[in-house]
Structure formats: structure tokens, C-alpha cells
Amino acid sequence: MLSDLFSPSVQHWLDIAGIFVFAISGALLGVRKNFDVFGMAVLAEVTALGGGLFRDLVIGAVPPAAFTDLGYFLTPLLATLIVFFLHPEVERITTAVGVFDAAGLGLFCVTGTVKAYSHGLGLTQSATLGLATAVGGGVLRDVLAHEVPSLLRWDRDLYAVPAMVGAAIAAVMIRFHALHGPTNAVPVLTAFSLRLLAMRFNLRAPRAWHRRSRAVEEV
């Protein structure tokens, strides 16, 4: 499926790139929380590898890829070192980091779906694990940092929804045997584009209809 579009070598480096950008976001949160370098590294590793680790454990792909490919494990450490020494500069290019993060989101929601399906799961379950692959690391990062997970907050741009859409499109295309060759790019680019649109126009999911709560809203 995705291997029809990318060679194993290209796919591997795309994974590394996605892991690197996710790890940058984890390490940056560690800086904002005033964590030491170890805490930054933990957040970077969890953010970059948590979603894929969860998926592999659920589908029984053990040992998980995070423990069989040294590059997967070392890349978040490299990101941590960069943020440790250059975090003011990294903070200034957050828009660029966000674009690459969106690309990783689009790629991982599809690769997660495909891998889950290839291990015998149904289409709905595969799409769910595709979503978990893309956003699971961010949820673990926020929980460890004592933050409300970003994808649960109304005041954050859409993040889980683009991944959900990308994973769902991938599942539908698998159902109709359409996910092959160049068509593999369709769900990836869809999720990527939706995330960029959410960032550009501050798109957010709606809250409860006729919400009457007077609770003070967290910013």
C-alpha cells in the first residue's frame, strides 16, 4: 500500500522526519514547563513514539518498532539536544515546525491505519488505531506535563479531526481496494491540508449546543 508509493528507504526517512518534529514539540513543552534536560527528553520520546508504541502493542507487533530501530529511539534525543541549546531560535520558527508537524500527522494517521489493517483488524478499528498513532503521543505528553490534552481543548485549532478524516479516508479506500500507487497520497494530503487550514483560519470544533455553563474558561 504505502510501500507502493514510497520505497522502504524513503518511508523510513519520512518516519524519522515525523518523529523528529513530534519530538521537537515535546521538548519545547518541557522548556515551557521548566523541566530539566531529562524531563525534556522524556517528553520528546513520549510525543514522538507514544502513538506508534500503543498501536504496535494493540495489534501484537512486538517488539514495537520503537525498540527495534535505533534511529527511532535516538531521533527524539537529537531533537532534545537541539531544543536544549537553541530553544529561543526554535520557538521563533514555530510556524515552520507546525507545518512539518501537520505533515507528520497526515503520514502517521495513514500508516497507522494501514499497519493495523495488515495485522487483521477491521476497517473501523484500523482507522481508530491510525488516529491513535497520529495523536496518541501528544496526549501522553500533555498528561505527563499536567496539561489538559490539546485535542480535548476547545480553544485549540483542530488537530485530531484532520487525523480522523485522513484515517477514515484511508480505511474507505482500503475497503474498495483503491489505496495503492499514487492514490496513497490522497488521505495523507487531505489530513495535512485540513490541519494547515485549521492553523491558518483558527478552525475549532463546536462546543455543546446552547451551552449554559458559567464556568471560567481556561485559556
- Supply the pLDDT for residue 214: 59
- Supply the pLDDT for residue 181: 77
Asked whether the beta carbons of 54 and 19 are under 8 A apart, the reply is no
Domain-located, residue 218: no
Domain-located, residue 209: no
- Supply the pLDDT for residue 6: 56
- Supply the pLDDT for residue 23: 95
Domain-located, residue 162: yes
Domain-located, residue 10: yes
| CB neighbourhood size of 137 (10 A) | 29
**Judging by beta carbons within 10 Å of its beta carbon (0-12, 13-18, 19+), is residue 205 exposed, middle or buried?**
middle
- Supply the pLDDT for residue 7: 65
Asked whether the beta carbons of 198 and 157 are under 8 A apart, the reply is yes
**Cβ-proximal residues to 6 (8 Å cutoff; 6+ apart), any chain:** 14
For 96-128, letters b (16+ CB in 10 Å) and e give ebbbbbbbbbbbbbbbbbbbbbeeebebebbbb
- Supply the pLDDT for residue 182: 84
Asked whether the beta carbons of 126 and 117 are under 8 A apart, the reply is yes
Domain-located, residue 213: no
Give the separation between CA 191 and CA 150, rounded to whole angstroms.
17
Domain-located, residue 9: yes
Q: Is the dihedral of CA 169, 171, 176, 181 positive or negative?
A: positive
Give the separation between CA 112 and CA 92, rounded to whole angstroms.
31
pTM for the model stands at: 0.90
Domain-located, residue 102: yes
- Supply the pLDDT for residue 73: 93
Tally of domains in the chain: 1
Domain-located, residue 74: yes
- Supply the pLDDT for residue 108: 94
Q: Which structural domain range is residue 143 located in? A: 2-201
- Supply the pLDDT for residue 51: 96
Give the separation between CA 93 and CA 46, rounded to whole angstroms.
22
Per-residue pLDDT of the chain (219 residues; tens, 9 = 90+): 555 555 677 778 878 988 999 999 999 999 999 999 999 999 999 999 999 999 999 999 999 988 999 999 999 999 999 999 999 999 888 888 899 899 999 999 999 999 999 999 999 999 999 999 999 999 999 999 999 998 888 889 999 999 999 999 999 999 999 998 788 899 999 999 999 999 999 999 888 887 665 555 554
Asked whether the beta carbons of 98 and 46 are under 8 A apart, the reply is no
